[in-house]
Each structure stands twice: as structure tokens, then as C-alpha cells.
Structure 1
């Protein structure tokens, strides 16, 4: 009797890359090693999650500059603050849920209030794990957007991470960066002139029928959706906003005005409460810019556990669902 071999998958470290899509393994870990080779002040610190935040790559190269703090996220943030006070540039890694929920007050009082040069790099942002509410950081941006002095970065792909890592290392001040880890898709390579810059949004695609403003993995979805819609003759612009705070208000306003009367969508791997969508809406309201405004994001609820493709379809952040949302608005 033959025994069928079971295929094993992990909801914790599942890749968001589509089958056959180009990827890079551990882009953050390798980019941090490269940055640290030219800056001996960079140190790596984690709360028992070196392997799962790709910091193990740094640890292998610089074992004397790597600090394993155990399962103690509050201690991790306080120690990172102490390192920064001594002139180091600490990159502290954990999961987004633990940074935003468990260590919030320590980040606020020990790091942000003092404007200390700590880089908080956190894996499993939004809906990038199927392990359910205990590990799905669907509200981390909402939590951190209200914290003064904190820069918030939400990179799209491996290229974005490779460019953002040295940029935040050179930046003077506290940073929170959402991390896509493991085998990370490469989607921005097709845009030859793309260059990550803190505080800058970048137009990736131009079209006159609609505008999608996006960050993080939803920029990948927006690009894929624009490609699919183009096959139907629908031309969609895509504006990538890798910096959530400070937001590039001027570019956002310029792009919305350029699409006057056309649908404007904000797509984010985050709850529709308190994230990029509401940040963009606030800018438009304050500047009295009229827009046919729509949000694409996660619902204001605790999400289910399960396989990522199923969950992305269920909660409206798959490419198919983005296409469906744009088509529905254009047809209305």
C-alpha cells in the first residue's frame, strides 16, 4: 500500500509571493549586514525571534554585535534605548503585534519622547500570517500614527526593504518599519527609476481612469490589479507611499487633483480604521480637496486563522478582490 506524502505548510511563515514570482530570501538581514559593514555602530537586538525576523543573517556575520534578549519585548525596547544613548544604532526586531501592543509604552517613553535613534523592525504586519488575532497586527499603524517623533515605514517588496534598511540606518531618529520576511517578492524592479526615499511617495504607473494609493504589500496588489485592468482597457495610476508618517501630502494632493472626478482608492494591509486610508482622507479634508474616495483594507474586526490566499480573498486584499472593487466603482 502506498502512503501519500503530506505537504507541510506554516501559517506563521507563509510567503505572500505568487507561484513563479521572483523573490529574494531575507532581504532585510542581508541589507543590514551590508549597512553594518560600513557602520560599526549598528547592532542587532531581538526578543527570541532572530530567525523569524531574518536577523539571524546579521547574527551570523556579526555575533559580537547581536543581542538575544529573550521573550521580553519591553526589556528589548528599553535596552535598545540604552544602546542608542551610548551612541549605537540599534535595530530591534520582533513581531508587529508585540511591538505595538505589548511594548507600546516603553517605545513611547523610552524611545520616542527622547527622539532616540532606535530602529524597530517588525515582522508579520497586517494579514501576513494565518495564525489569527494573536499574531495578526492589523492595527499597528493606527496605534503608532499617534506617537510623536516616530517615523513609520511600510515597504512593498524586497527592493524596497533593501533600499529602506540603509536609509533608516542613516536617518537620525526613531523608526518603526513593517517587515516582509523570508522569501519576499520582487515587484519594483520593473520600474527602472524607483528609489526609496523617507517621506516620499512615488508614482509607479499612470492612467486616467482611476488612482490607487497604496503601501506595503498592497502596492504589489495595486500593480497586479492595474495590469489586469489594463487588459480590459482600464488605465489605473498607482502611487506608492512607503512612508506612512510623515506622509507625502504634496504628492498625494497633486495626484488626487490630477485625477479630478475619477475614483481614488487607498489600499492597505491594515484595518480601515486609523491607517493610510484615514491619513490620506485627513489630508484631503484639511486641504479641501474633493475626491471620489474609496478604501481597500481589512475590516474593523479580529480576523480568522487559515491559509493566507483564502484569508486575502475573504478580507478583500487579494489582487482579484482589488480588481473587483475597482470594477464595481467604475461601473456604478
Structure 2
């Protein structure tokens, strides 16, 4: 595993790296040192705008820039990027198909001590149900860099979810790893159960794979970085070849990755029992990030237990 870095920091550095195109404009809601757009602001101050704590206004200004041909990125905490500005994102960005990238930082339980009001556990659900919205949830710094480049190159609205915690880099060392929007990545192979994860739950799933291996269970771990469009082909292949599915996300189990995977299963000929690892339809609360993951059942041991349950249901 590589050096630890948060996905928000990796995004900020990638934005500065790939932001040389004079058509790219970045907007932030007075959080540049948190969302890490500060790197872009320092390098390209003429194309960076601090919009203050006025998120709805920020989205509509960005939409205006995009309507004039710009690539516009709006940045704030995920709870605000998905909730506070839902109306503006839906009606003023995605409905007209404008080239605006919504970047939600500090997502999930691991925003930690900021507590339930700032722990976005519904953002994936909200964003993926908007017609025409692409939703990307990278798991580490290397993948975030590639995801940032990809959404800048892709025309149309995207939602990119990043987090606060420093995480191990697990994708860069994966042989023949390639990032492509809409295509998941198989990180480990196995024929007993498939663990499909996004965000930091990819790292937790790889740890779970080791626990299962010690018990003689061979788990396939899939990094499903794109929630929409979901990689149907990879989900169906995993279901047919392993016969059991576990989905893992730092999000409500309703409406997120687990729901997206189950929608594939029930609309295909690849039936497989599925277990959901995530937040079970409750709010979070304040606490140290990884203690919260343990409290809500998002640890490698929890994933391993879910895998065994899924296998027992074959």
C-alpha cells in the first residue's frame, strides 16, 4: 500500500495539475483550505472565485459560466453540495445538461467530530437519481487524480465525492489498473464471494479479503468507483462467477452503491444473494472517524461476516 493521502487533498492537487486550460473555472463556498481548491486558487487566481457561504448562488453562477462554454467546478462540503443546493443542481445544471462538476468534500461518517449535521450519508442517492448525472466516488489519492482528470475531460454534469481522512493508496500498485468512468476495477480475484465497494470502503474490503482468506474463503474485491453509470457487465460477471455479493459503502444503504448493484441483479439473469454493509438508515453522530466506522458496522470484520452470510444464502 502506498503513502497515505486524503481524496480531498488528491483532488485539490489534481485540479491544479490539470487546470491549465483557460476554459476551466473553479468556484468555492469559502472553504478552499478544506476542499483543497486552494492549490488551484494559488496557481490560477484569475479563474478562481470565492463565492462565500452562498452555495445556491455559487451553483447558479457556475451554471451561467457553463452556459457560455466554460467547464465550471463548484466545491463545498458534500452535505451542502447535495442537500442545500439540490434544486439548483437538478434544475439549473443537470436539466439543461450544463458542463458543471459538483465536488462534495468531507463526505460520510469520517467527517468525524463535525457530527450528524455534516455527515453526508444521502448524497450518492440524491445525485444518482437525477437524470443525466454522473456519480464518481474514488477510493484513494491515485484514483482521485485520475477521476479528476476524467471529469474535466467529460462533457456534462458530474458529482465527485471526496473525503477528509488520509487513506492508503491501493490502486496504483494494482497490475494493469486503468481508470475509466463507468468501468469498475477488480482488485483481487476469488470465486466464493464478490465484495463490491466504493470510497474508503475499498481499503476496508481489501482488509476483509485477508480475513476471509485466513478462513479459506476466496473473495473477489471490486472497486466500483463509478456509481452512475454502474458497470452492469462487471456486476453480472461477479454474480455469475461467485454466486454471492456484498456491497460496502460509507453511505446509507438506501439509494447508494448497494441499491445500484441490486438494481442490476434484479434486472438481469444473474441472481445472487446480496448483503449490504453501510449505514442502516440512521443519522451519524460526532466522534473519531474510524471509531464511527466501527460503531456503525463498517469494519473489515463486519464485511467478512457479511460475506459469510451471503455465502450461506447461496
TM-score, normalising length: structure 2? 0.94
Matches within 5 A, 1:36-185: 36-37=19-20, 39-130=21-112, 131-181=114-164, 183-185=166-168
SS of residue in 1 equivalent to 2:117: coil
Aligned length: 310
Q: Distance in 1 between matches of 2:195 and 2:294?
A: 18
* Structure 2 unaligned blocks of 5 or more: none
Q: Distance in 1 between matches of 2:167 and 2:302?
A: 21
C-alpha displacement of 1:329:
4.8
Write out per-residue CA displacement over residues 76-116 of structure 1, whole angstroms, 9 at most, x where no aligned residue.
11011011112211111101110111100000111000100
SS of residue in 1 equivalent to 2:5: strand
Q: Distance in 1 between matches of 2:90 and 2:259?
A: 22
C-alpha displacement of 1:231:
2.9
What residue number does 2:262 align with?
Answer: 281
Q: Distance in 2 between matches of 1:175 and 1:94?
A: 14
Matches within 5 A, 1:257-268: 257-260=240-243, 263-268=244-249
Q: Distance in 2 between matches of 1:214 and 1:187?
A: 13
Pair 28,69 (structure 1): closer, same or farther in 2 beyond 3 Å: same
SS of residue in 2 equivalent to 1:115: coil
Work out whether residues 110 and 292 of structure 2, in 8 Å CA contact, stay in contact via their aligned partners in 1.
no
C-alpha displacement of 1:177:
0.5
Please provide the CA RMSD for this pair. Answer: 1.7
What residue number does 1:321 align with?
Answer: 302
C-alpha displacement of 1:328:
5.0
Q: Distance in 2 between matches of 1:28 and 1:181?
A: 11
Q: Distance in 2 between matches of 1:68 and 1:226?
A: 43
C-alpha displacement of 1:181:
4.4
Q: 1:241 aligned to 2:236?
A: no
What residue number does 1:12 align with?
Answer: none
- Structure (1 or 2) with the greater helix fraction: 2
Work out whether residues 137 and 161 of structure 2, in 8 Å CA contact, stay in contact via their aligned partners in 1.
yes
What residue number does 1:194 align with?
Answer: 177
Work out whether residues 10 and 144 of structure 2, in 8 Å CA contact, stay in contact via their aligned partners in 1.
yes
C-alpha displacement of 1:233:
2.5
Q: 1:216 aligned to 2:199?
A: yes
SS of residue in 1 equivalent to 2:110: coil
